Amino acid sequence: MIEERFDAIVVGAGMAGNAAALTMAKRGMKVLQLERGEYPGSKNVQGAILYADMMEKLVPEFREEAPLERHLIEQRFWMMDDRSHVGMHYRSEDFNEERPNRYTIIRAQFDKWFSSKVREAGAIVLCETTVTELARDGRGRIVGVRTDRRDGEIHADVVVLAEGVNGLLGTRAGLRARPTPDNVALAVKEMHFLPRETIEARFNLKGDEGVVIEAVGTISRGMTGMGFIYANKECISLGIGCLVADFQRTGQTPYGLLDHFKRHPSVAPLIAGSEVKEYSAHLIPEGGYKSIPQLYGEGWVVVGDAAQLNNAIHREGSNLAMTSGRIAAEAIGLVKSRGEPMSATNLSVYKKMLDDSFVIKDLRKYKDLPPLMHTQSENFFLTYPQLISKAMQNFVRVDGTPKAEKEQATLKSFVKARSWTGLFGDACRIARAWR
């Protein structure tokens, strides 16, 4: 079976790879997909929020079939100092709609299901197979892969690299640079199991309603980072991630940070009495627009996390992965339908199509934010959260101090910590980067 030649080989059965393999197989192309895990999903970690719009474009009926946890009706943002959090919550009955917009999922389960759709569409999916090398012809074009399953090369017209954030194959082959400590974050995560009713009571939910909490502040100890708490049906996903460069610089341990987050007085009651069933860790691309590498070449395209397509500001990744996988597959289909070779010139249509999609448009919008957050991490993740907490406490505590004096004290604390020029500069920098 494997001696044949394929129209396309897809490396990886994550979100990007499954989207690409499904799209090509549906078009009747002969697709081989290779995944190193025992089953699709066994190597993958996500929060995880699934965005329905992008999923619908791939499997319109996914709501009836896919293993979904809860549909989200509420989003909480927390800014934390060591003893408090200031929150902004958005909850709306509008999200209890017929076709909900966002769901929590569990990746190992979801990916298995997604992969079953890829097989149904006619692709050959081989798990427990690590691709070890890209195969080239005499002119340096990518013509296939080598795996650890058997000797020799497997050939295809085009190789879709959906190998995730580490992207070992592409970096070893010199197609793009290795991720650097300042363009990837390390996240650690635990799965906390509790009875369904307990989760619903603690998070103020009924039925399959869900809520997610994103948290920043002193929990990352001055590093660029974010914590998250997502409600699933019978468990809570809880984790925290910070830039690898910051871990390297500060000597903080990821598990120390995670346990500190879990013990925070705002967090501990949510997971009290839970049974932990897994501890995981994964990198997240954080470099944004400026770190997107070359996306195509002679006989290859790269999609998803491997191409750093991740919107760290909005915590979107899987949807960019799915969309880039689908668009790459459509581009390949286009080249094939014209009977043309999978050359760099012809495959450049992938980049054009991606540039026109929300993927590149969103990343371009925030192109200056990652560097700003990374160089000013102490201010944004330590100083401001503490100041804001103090201001809130000043505002709500009733102790006989006249309000005008309280406001003066709040203002003074801000100026003392950051100076007028510092405050003004930070405001301008954020506004500019956000625009």
Partner 1 sequence: MNVEPSVRVEDKLYYNRYLVDVGHPHVKVRAHKTPSPQLLALLKACPARCYELNDDGQVEVAVDGCIECGTCRVIAEPTGDIQWSHPRGGYGILFKFG
Closer to ligand FAD at the Cβ: 146 or 429? 146
Closer to partner 1 at the Cβ: 41 or 333? 41
Q: Choose the one of partner 1, ligand FAD, none that binds residue 184, judging by a C-beta under 5 to 8 angstroms depending on kind.
A: partner 1
Site for ligand FAD, residues 154 to 213, rule: CB under 6 A: 162-164, 168-169, 187, 189
Between the two ends of the chain, the Cα-to-Cα distance in Å is 53
Smallest distance from the beta carbon of 7 to partner 1, in angstroms? 23
Q: What is the DSSP string of 134-152?
A: EEE-TTS-EEEEEESSSSS
When asked if residue 131 is in the footprint of ligand FAD (CB under 6 A), the reply is yes
Q: Choose the one of ligand FAD, partner 1, none that binds residue 191, judging by a C-beta under 5 to 8 angstroms depending on kind.
A: partner 1
Please give the helix or strand (H or E) that residue 124 lies within, else none: strand 124-126
Q: Choose the one of partner 1, ligand FAD, none that binds residue 321, judging by a C-beta under 5 to 8 angstroms depending on kind.
A: ligand FAD
Q: Choose the one of partner 1, ligand FAD, none that binds residue 239, judging by a C-beta under 5 to 8 angstroms depending on kind.
A: ligand FAD
Which of 92, 96, 180, 345: binder of partner 1 (CB under 8 A)?
180
Output the CA torsion sign for 368, 370, 375, 378: positive
Q: Choose the one of ligand FAD, partner 1, none that binds residue 49, judging by a C-beta under 5 to 8 angstroms depending on kind.
A: ligand FAD
What's the CA gap between 308 and 164, in Å, rounded?
9
- List Cα–Cα distances, 382 to 13, 247, 378, in angstroms: 38, 15, 5
Nearest residue relative to ligand FAD (C-beta):
14
- List Cα–Cα distances, 14 to 176, 247, 300, 301, in angstroms: 20, 27, 18, 16
Smallest distance from the beta carbon of 340 to partner 1, in angstroms? 33
Is residue 386 classed as helix, strand or coil in its secondary structure?
A: helix
Which of 8, 9, 10, 16: binder of ligand FAD (CB under 6 A)?
16
Site for partner 1, residues 82 to 121, rule: CB under 8 A: 82, 106-109, 111
What's the CA gap between 294 and 64, in Å, rounded?
38
Q: What is the DSSP string of 78-102?
A: EEE-SS-EEEEEEE-GGGSSSS-SE
Q: Choose the one of ligand FAD, partner 1, none that binds residue 181, judging by a C-beta under 5 to 8 angstroms depending on kind.
A: partner 1
Closer to partner 1 at the Cβ: 92 or 248? 248
Q: Is 395 in contact with 406 (CB distance < 8 Å)?
A: yes
Which of 244, 301, 321, 354: binder of partner 1 (CB under 8 A)?
244
Smallest distance from the beta carbon of 421 to partner 1, in angstroms? 32
Q: Is 134 in contact with 169 (CB distance < 8 Å)?
A: yes
Residue 327 neighbours by CB distance under 10 Å: 24
Q: Choose the one of ligand FAD, partner 1, none that binds residue 161, judging by a C-beta under 5 to 8 angstroms depending on kind.
A: none
Which of 254, 293, 341, 425: binder of partner 1 (CB under 8 A)?
254
Q: Is 127 in contact with 142 (CB distance < 8 Å)?
A: no
User: Which residues form the interface with ligand FAD (CB under 6 A)?
Assistant: 11-17, 34-37, 43-49, 130-131, 162-164, 168-169, 187, 189, 239, 241, 282, 284, 304-306, 310, 315-319, 321
